[in-house]
Amino acid sequence: MKDSLAIALHFLKFRPRTVFEIQKKLTSKNIDEQEIAKVITVLKKNKLLDDKNFAKMYVRDRNLLKPTGTFLLKLELRKLGISDQDIDTALEGQDDEILAKQALESKSRYRTADFNKQAAFLQRRGFSPSVIYKILKS
């Protein structure tokens, strides 16, 4: 238990992680399922693992550094093993229109680009076609 807990704590030292990420890391180190379950229980009890808070923090930080649409954020959070319910909670109140405007403003080469280039950029950032059209036509 001590070794597997030490591995998990070392993994958590660099950035917050999800339960899925910890399970994957410990599985890669050939630690059995019961041991992994014990480690996760200990980490949750000590509030070092919390998928709901992780999802909220991830969305907040991602939108501060690189404004992203709801679609792309959902994909990224699912890859990290976050449940759909926690994803929906984290994305509550997200305004894609404001974020799309911020994304365009953050990239100087797209501020004055033509409609197609701006639309393609916003689409790559995960914004829906309806939001893209609304932003670019206003």
Burial class (CB in 10 A: 0-12, 13-18, 19+), 127: buried
pTM over 0.75: yes
Residue 138: per-residue pLDDT: 77
Predicted confidence at residue 112, as pLDDT, reads: 86
Tokens at residue 4, please?
């597997």
The proportion of the chain whose per-residue pLDDT surpasses 70, expressed as a percent, equals 100
More confident site: 107 or 18: 18
Q: Report how far residue 12's alpha carbon sits from residue 69's, in angstroms, rounded to the nearest whole number.
A: 27
Residue 22 pLDDT > 80: yes
